[in-house]
Structure 1
Amino acid sequence: RWNAYTKPLLVDKASGTILDGHHRYEIAKRMGLLCLPCVLVDYISDDSITIIPWPSSGRIEISKADVLEAASSGELLPPKTSRHLLSDDLPPISVPLSRLLLPAI
């Protein structure tokens, strides 16, 4: 739409787990993009990141450990199970798609 990538993925730096941006990641793969902007976080110890279950998930609670365990086991949680809340919003970006067709630096 803007011919640019405008929202980075949120990724746990210790495990490489995508915390927010799964759909953007899948679309980027289909588009043949070779790299994506990411914000790396220390997920477990960063208190500015909280997690709640989506109301439609049927879960009463979910923990950061639940998310990382699902990712490491390969048995991903169903879509819209968890919602990450950040005290600081992700920074606005505008990276041309043409740049993302090149390998990461």
Structure 2
Amino acid sequence: MSIIHFLSLEKLRPTESVAPRRVAKLKKKIQQEGVWTRPICVEENDLFIMDGHHRFAVAKRLGLKLVPVLLLNYETTSVLSRKRKYKVSASFVRSRAKKGFLYPLKNTCHIFPEGLSGCVVPLSKLHCSDISVEH
């Protein structure tokens, strides 16, 4: 079981572009459910997004202050490219994130350890800058 943390959107660094239609569809789904159910996977040191770019974009559009995240590293997570023309490795992803260079949509594929936690967090709690949530 992994520990869910709550981080400000400003601390997170995206690494891939998103599809606007998918963001709109996901936003509608999350608003209808009224809860956040899947944490964003984030590299623990540099706080770049490994998985969850569309959820991150939804959180921004909803004006959330915080999002649930899982802090992970490349000792337990591997990464590969879904597109041959882009070179992908942990160091390339980190370097591009620091420079603000986004990979194209769905280019990187992170392979995570089994058993990552989900969550059920009311959206109302994520509009606050300080959160206390039972997991």
TM-score range, shorter chain: 0.7 to 0.9
Equivalents in 2 of 1:103, 1:94: separation in Å?
18
Query: 1:59: how far off?
Result: 3.5
Equivalents in 1 of 2:81, 2:85: separation in Å?
6
Give the share of equivalent positions with the same residue, in percent. 31
Q: Does 1:20 align with 2:51?
A: yes
- What TM-score, normalized by structure 2, do the two folds share? 0.68
Whether contact under 8 Å (1:11, 1:20) holds in the other structure is: yes
RMSD, aligned α-carbons: 1.6
Query: Which residue of 1 is the match for residue 63 of structure 2?
Result: 32
AA partner of residue 110 (structure 2): H
Query: 1:104: how far off?
Result: 3.2
Unpaired stretches in structure 2, ≥5 consecutive residues: 1-31
* Total equivalences in the alignment: 100
AA partner of residue 77 (structure 2): I
Equivalents in 2 of 1:60, 1:93: separation in Å?
33
Q: Once superposed, which parts of structure 1, at least 4 consecutive aligned residues long, lie more than 6 Å away?
A: none
Q: Normalized per residue, which structure has more helix? A: 2
